[in-house]
Structure 1
Amino acid sequence: MAYYQNRTKKTERSCYEAALHLLKYRGQSEMEMRRKLKERNYGEKDIEDTLKKLMHYGYVDDESLAEDVFRSFRSRRCYGNNYILQKMKARGLPCPYRIPEEEERDNAFRVLAGRAKVMPSILKNYRKAAAFLLRRGFSSSVIHSALAEAGVEDEFPNW
């Protein structure tokens, strides 16, 4: 029992030291940092002072982090704007960036072609192919044009 009590005991680190430790692994947004420090039972005043200090030194910069995260997702070329926006919002980051529709359509076609190599039957089922691309965050107009380009026939062409 004593082992578990020691594991849950708050360490003697200051709030600022804990924040620097978190930043060692990856960039953190202000929202993420606030939540993680709160989970570690630091006081509200300590958290505010720490965040002000981190922002002053540029260790926590949501705009810069948002640009880096967006650039990272965009370079993978396998996600649509909706997916990227959702992931960035979950991290508390602003997302003023968008992938151009033409590039997003090319990405959707490329992702679908890659999936078809593993699972060729996807090109015969419009719903499965559309659902696959939808989960990747592509918009419905992009999905429709990518499926048309891939030759996947719409089950309901009159709709």
Structure 2
Amino acid sequence: MDDETETIHSGTITKIERQKRIKDRYNLFIDEQFAFSVHEDILIKQRLVKGTVISIEHFKVILHAQEKQQAYLDAIRLLSVRLRSEHELKARLKQKGYEPEIRAITLDRLRQEKYVDDGLFAEQLTMQRIRSQKKGRNWVKQELKHKGLQPEQIVQALEQVDEATEYRHAFDLVYKKYRAEFAEDSVKARRKAMGFLMRRGYSSSLVLRVMRDLVKAYGAANEEDMDFSEGSFEEF
């Protein structure tokens, strides 16, 4: 569109043609020459019809309106792939070359239309990571920070995590992955299992609880070989 500002002068719209490939965009011709294309919404809002006289100032208004509309559509496409935080959307729109003013206008519109809600996003992402991916709350907390969520939003989201569910996931993960190794060498298996759970973001207190219960599951004889002190986490 920048190149178009150099070539367009005042003139009269003599033809409006719907694009074949993109159905909601229209090509506009001024004085029988192709001038620019706009989204259907802009066509309607700016009252662009055959016979309309376009001045350079009017064209600038159209250009700005078209840029806002395109930024909005780009954001909607990003959200159609997956939910995103405001921070993520701002970053992607910046990558696409939109100026701060356009990015701010776009996010404000998305908020008003309820397409973005960081509080809800934090809660949904937390539940998805905890329930579907079986990550620990420390993992989720770091991910939410990385996505630009506010501290209070992170706290509220993590408050929704059921401790019993988190424990069950951690226990099941280790039991399925290391149960054979625990039967052969409980000390070696413990080290591997603790490291595995810590990397997935489970807290040290929860990991210790899982280790204790695994020992009980394999018999009291193995418990003497297990170190359940907080110092046992120093190697991780």
Question: Taking structure 2 as the reference length, what is the TM-score of the superposition?
Answer: 0.55
CA–CA distance in 2 between the matches of 1:150 and 1:49?
Answer: 54
Going by fraction, where is strand more abundant, 1 or 2?
2
Where in structure 2 are there 5+ consecutive unaligned residues?
A: 1-66, 216-222, 232-236
Match of 1:112 among 171, 174, 177: 174
Where in structure 1 are there 5+ consecutive unaligned residues?
A: 1-11
- Indicate the structure (1 or 2) with the bigger Cα radius of gyration: 2
Match of 1:23 among 72, 79, 82: 79
Higher RCO, 1 vs 2 (CA within 8 Å, ≥6 residues apart): 1
Other structure's SS at 1:33 match:
helix
Match of 1:64 among 106, 120, 129: 120
Question: Taking structure 1 as the reference length, what is the TM-score of the superposition?
Answer: 0.80
CA–CA distance in 2 between the matches of 1:158 and 1:84?
Answer: 22
CA–CA distance in 1 between the matches of 2:111 and 2:92?
Answer: 16
1:101, distance to aligned residue in structure 2 (A) = 3.5
Q: Does 2:86 match 1:14?
A: no
1:136 corresponds in structure 2 to 200
Contact 2:167/2:206, CA 8 A, preserved across alignment: yes
1:72, distance to aligned residue in structure 2 (A) = 1.3
Contact 2:187/2:226, CA 8 A, preserved across alignment: no
Sort the Cα spacing of 1:14 and 1:90 in 2 relative to 1 into closer, same or farther, 3 A: same
CA–CA distance in 2 between the matches of 1:62 and 1:156?
Answer: 39
Q: Does 2:154 match 1:154?
A: no
1:91, distance to aligned residue in structure 2 (A) = 1.7
Provide, for residues 52-80 of structure 1, a one-character-per-residue CA deviation record: whole Å limited to 9, x for no partner. 00101011111111121122123227221
User: Over aligned residue pairs, what C-alpha RMSD do you find?
Assistant: 2.5
Sort the Cα spacing of 1:45 and 1:106 in 2 relative to 1 into closer, same or farther, 3 A: same
CA–CA distance in 1 between the matches of 2:82 and 2:108?
Answer: 19
Segment drifting more, 35-44 vs 65-74: 65-74
- 1:56-95 to structure 2, matched below 5 A, reads 56-76=112-132, 78-93=134-149, 94-95=153-154
Q: Which amino acid aligns with 2:120?
A: S
Contact 1:15/1:46, CA 8 A, preserved across alignment: yes
Sort the Cα spacing of 1:158 and 1:24 in 2 relative to 1 into closer, same or farther, 3 A: closer
Segment drifting more, 19-28 vs 146-155: 146-155
CA–CA distance in 2 between the matches of 1:135 and 1:42?
Answer: 37
1:141, distance to aligned residue in structure 2 (A) = 0.9
Contact 2:84/2:116, CA 8 A, preserved across alignment: yes
Sort the Cα spacing of 1:156 and 1:138 in 2 relative to 1 into closer, same or farther, 3 A: closer
Q: Which amino acid aligns with 1:154?
A: M
- Identical counterparts, % of pairs: 29
1:136, distance to aligned residue in structure 2 (A) = 0.9
1:157, distance to aligned residue in structure 2 (A) = 6.4
Other structure's SS at 2:81 match:
coil
